[in-house]
């Protein structure tokens, strides 16, 4: 919208405020990236702010060679990819029937599901349930309890309810069954919404932390979030790495910690631009009930 008359001041103030807010959000990320790429002396002297000083990749070399970051990265990918597939399938299988007006009792079913957003069993009952199912030290302890997010299911349900009835009627006339209609009609038309919900699940599974600490006892199965948290909280970080004296003098705990944070968030930064175009459209359409 082109600003007219008195609106120009309003738009100018909006742009100014949003620019300041954006910079305050970007500064910590840029600062961490600069620290991870800066030399030892520059980091220790506090000279690093927005750009690297004495550019070096020693911190990244340290975590790649001295930690299990590659194994943790692989674990995070497995947790996220398989988890997103499970979540999307189960969410669709819950949302689609509840979006059908001919489903008998769909309102009580919906209310029962929404009830779980307000009241849960709690940490100890959940742990006892997972233990009784024999899922301790298994990634299924992470996947199954979070297979359906009620919030995401409601977005998907609302979106599916607003698909034109004429499209389904045409598909039925052409002889499409229920699964054919879902696979060839519903899923292609729901691409923006599906991409948005997949992004929500991806971020949640990639950053999962507490559940890994609770249900996973084997350090070999830890994901990046737990490994990076260990690196940040460690008081003897450099001593834990198998480095020679020359390498120790080239790195600082701050630089290694910053490199670990960048490794953790980099995959999401790479993936987000590819589905960003679907994000606003999918969230808005799924949130509007016509």
Is the predicted pLDDT of residue 117 greater than 80, yes or no? Answer: yes
Average pLDDT, the chain: 83
Whose CA is closest to 59, among 271, 254, 264? Answer: 254
∠ CA(278), CA(280), CA(281), 5° rounding?
Answer: 65
Q: What does the domain layout of the chain look like in residue ranges? A: 1-56, 58-287
In angstroms, the CA 242 to CA 41 distance is 21
H or E segment and range at residue 137? none
Higher pLDDT, 163 or 206: 206
Backbone angle region of 104, left / alpha / beta, with phi > 0 → left and psi within -120 to 50 → alpha: beta
pLDDT attached to residue 247: 56
Label residue 139 by pLDDT band (50, 70, 90): very high
Q: What is the pLDDT of residues 20-45, one digit of tens each?
A: 998 888 888 898 999 888 888 788 88
What are the tens digits of pLDDT across the range 199-213?
889 999 999 999 999
pLDDT: which is higher, 115 or 49: 115
Q: Name the pTM for this structure.
A: 0.82
Calculate ∠ Cα 141-97-120, nearest 5°: 40
CATH number for 58-287: choose from 3.40.630.30, 3.10.20.90, 3.40.50.720, 1.10.3720.10. Answer: 1.10.3720.10
Backbone angles phi, psi at 258, to 5 degrees: -65, -40
**116-120 long-range CB contacts below 8 Å, 24 or more apart?**
116/150, 117/150, 117/151
Q: What mean pLDDT is predicted for residues 13-21? A: 91
Q: Which helix (H) or strand (E) holds 286?
A: helix 253-287
Contact 77, 206 (CB under 8 A): no
pLDDT one-digit tens code per residue, 223-252? 999 988 887 776 555 555 555 545 555 667
């Amino acid at each position: 919208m082109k600003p007219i008359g008195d609106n120009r001041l309003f738009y100018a103030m909006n742009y100014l405020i949003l620019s300041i807010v954006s910079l305050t959000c970007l500064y910590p990320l840029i600062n961490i990236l600069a620290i991870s790429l800066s030399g030892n002396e520059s980091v220790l002297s506090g000279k690093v702010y927005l750009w690297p000083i004495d550019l070096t990749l020693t911190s990244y070399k340290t975590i790649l060679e001295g930690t299990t970051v590659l194994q943790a990265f692989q674990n995070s990918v497995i947790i996220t990819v398989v988890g997103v597939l499970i979540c999307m399938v189960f969410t669709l299988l819950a949302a689609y029937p509840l979006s059908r007006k001919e489903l008998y009792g769909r309102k009580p079913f919906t209310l029962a599901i929404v009830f779980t957003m307000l009241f849960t069993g709690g940490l100890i009952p959940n742990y006892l349930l997972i233990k009784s199912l024999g899922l301790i030290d298994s990634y299924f302890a992470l996947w199954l309890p979070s297979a359906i997010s009620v919030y995401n299911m409601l977005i998907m349900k609302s979106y599916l309810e607003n698909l034109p009835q004429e499209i389904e009627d045409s598909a039925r006339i052409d002889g499409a069954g229920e699964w054919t209609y879902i696979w060839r009609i519903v899923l292609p038309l729901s691409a923006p919404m599906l991409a948005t919900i997949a992004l929500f699940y991806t971020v949640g599974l990639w950053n999962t932390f507490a559940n890994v600490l609770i249900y996973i006892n084997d350090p070999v199965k830890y994901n990046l979030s737990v490994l990076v948290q260990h690196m940040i909280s460690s008081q003897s970080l450099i001593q834990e790495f198998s480095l020679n004296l020359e390498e120790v003098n080239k790195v600082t705990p701050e630089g290694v910690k910053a490199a670990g944070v960048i490794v953790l968030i980099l995959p999401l930064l790479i993936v987000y631009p590819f589905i960003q175009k679907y994000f606003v459209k999918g969230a808005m359409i799924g949130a509007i009930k016509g």
